[in-house]
Amino acid sequence: MVGTGYVGLVSGVCFSDFGHDVICVDKNPRKVEMLRAGEVPIYEPGLDALMAKNVEAGRLTFTDDLAGAVDGADAIFIAVGTPTRRGDGHADLTYVMAAAEEIARALTGYAVIVTKSTVPVGTNRQVKQVIARANPEAEFDVASNPEFLREGAAIDDFMRPDRIVVGVQNERAAEVMAGIYRPLYLRDFPILTTDLESAEMIKYAANAFLATKITFINEIAALCERTGADVKLVSKGMGLDGRIGNKFLHAGPGYGGSCFPKDTQALARIGQEHGLPMQITETVIKVNAETRRRMVEKITDMLDGRLAGKTIAVLGVTFKPNTDDMREAPSLTVIPALIGAGARVRAVDPQGHREAAELLPGVHWFDDAYKAAQNADAVVILTEWNEFRALDLKRMARRMTFPALADLRNIYSARDARRAGFLRYASVGRADYIAEADADQAPEGTEEPADFE
């Protein structure tokens, strides 16, 4: 497994749990040492225990020696990053091609070179050409095996997948891939074998479609706010239709993460290169950016248009719960906008603090939601961590200078907020609650300021 990022590490660990001998390769010696010491560089529930189990069983090892790992391997997975390329929005294949060339020079016998990274249509054929040029004597096949892992639920997704997609060019490669996934085949999980191009396209089409569902319900949410409809009820009514389904129909501050932003941009670019603009996908990208800006406006309106000098506590900064991933998180748009308008921002996140601290300068970090809310003018729920789903709203409101709650994940209701003593409540796609009150009418019993030092 070449690459020990999110996809590579989760895949390598899970393959070893199938009973395969897996060597995970990374160029960063420090990262390799961390992994050898049992330290997991990413947060993914259950991954540390599963990794330790298979290391102890002798099926899983880590190295920075790619040539040694490739020698004698039946399959070599490329699981390196394909970030958005600056300037044109296309997927940057630099790391994929570099890995392919290095693998080619290390090949000693037949192997299937499998691209696990998300790559544009036609990439696997390019990988084949790179390997053939670098080592004309190499005996190999290429395969496309896109991942469909949700951060926070990746192990379950790998072990109980909706489907496994494998793109190959011949039976020999198909047999190797079937052997690798045999434990799932025996449990009747569907394996779809396709050509290379179809496998590559499936990944982009699936992610673009899910991003479209999220963006669609966010646009409907904006219309609900204007018309008096409740987006939660609208979503439920839509989701009960079996043709639509209820997943990815939760209104909020827009999609983020390592996949949807990058893959929608790449698909749009692929369409442009082939003279067929992906108009729906391009609109999704545009509307998602507008949704984030609308969240800033919502917070500003809740505070009567004045952010300067206000203290705002933000609960959750990662792009979703159960991960430490900050890539394209809505917080990276919302928080800088608040600070730029003169607000003082405090933040709480169960796992995102370490990475977010570098990305969000000027934020004051807390490990407790109630401490962050002490003497604050507003609380903003930006990521729906379980820790924020059962807050004592009365306790929180009493601590605040002016009790205002922007619930951007629709966890609570205007009724909840009103009963707890909040004077202002804003959500997404539902009626807001605004009391005819100002800061002088804050609930009695405000606690003494905490010692933030």
Active site residues: 259
Q: What DSSP assignment string belongs to 161-188?
A: -S-EEEE-SSHHHHHHHHHHTHHHHTTT
Number of residues written out for the chain: 453
Residue 388 near residue 369 (C-beta atoms within 8 A)? yes
Is the CB of residue 91 less than 8 Å from the CB of residue 84? Answer: yes
Annotated ligand binding at 251? The verdict is yes
Write the DSSP symbol of residue 50. H
Sorted by sequence, the CB contacts under 8 Å of residue 88 that are 6+ apart come out as 269
262 is known to lie in a ligand binding site: yes
CB 120 within 8 A of CB 91: yes
Residue 256 marked as a ligand binder = yes
| Distance of alpha carbon 101 from alpha carbon 87, whole angstroms | 25
Residue 116 annotated in ligand binding: no
Residue 250 annotated in ligand binding? yes
Phi and psi at residue 190, to the nearest 5°: -70, 135
What lies within 8 Å, CB to CB, of 283 at 6+ separation is none
As a whole number of angstroms, the distance between CA 199 and CA 144 comes to: 6
156 annotated as a binding-site residue = no
Residue pair 84/265 in contact (Cβ under 8 Å)? The answer is yes
298 marked as binding residue: no
Q: Is 382 annotated as a binding residue?
A: no
Beta bridge partners of 143: 114
Count of beta carbons in the 10 Å neighbourhood of residue 420: 20
User: Is residue 384 annotated as involved in ligand binding?
Assistant: no
Is 419 annotated to bind ligand? no
On whether 318 is known to bind a ligand per the annotation, the reply is no
Element (DSSP H or E) covering residue 63: strand 60-63
Burial profile 370-393: b = 16 or more Cβ within 10 angstroms, e = fewer: bebbbbbbbbbbbbbbeebeebeb
C-beta separation of 406 from 379 below 8 A: yes
Q: Between the CA of residue 257 and those of 27, 137, 151, 343, 378, what are the distances in Å?
A: 24, 41, 9, 26, 26
Amino acid at residue number 339? I
Answer yes or no: is 424 a known binding residue: no
Q: Was 359 annotated as part of a binding site?
A: no
**How many other CB atoms are found less than 10 A from the CB of residue 31?**
18
Residue 152 among known ligand-binding residues? no
Numbered residues of the known binding site: 26, 31, 82, 118, 148-151, 203, 248-252, 256, 262, 320, 327
Numbered residues of the known binding site for substrate: 148-151, 203, 248-252, 256, 320
Numbered residues of the known binding site for NAD(+): 26, 31, 82, 118, 151, 262, 327
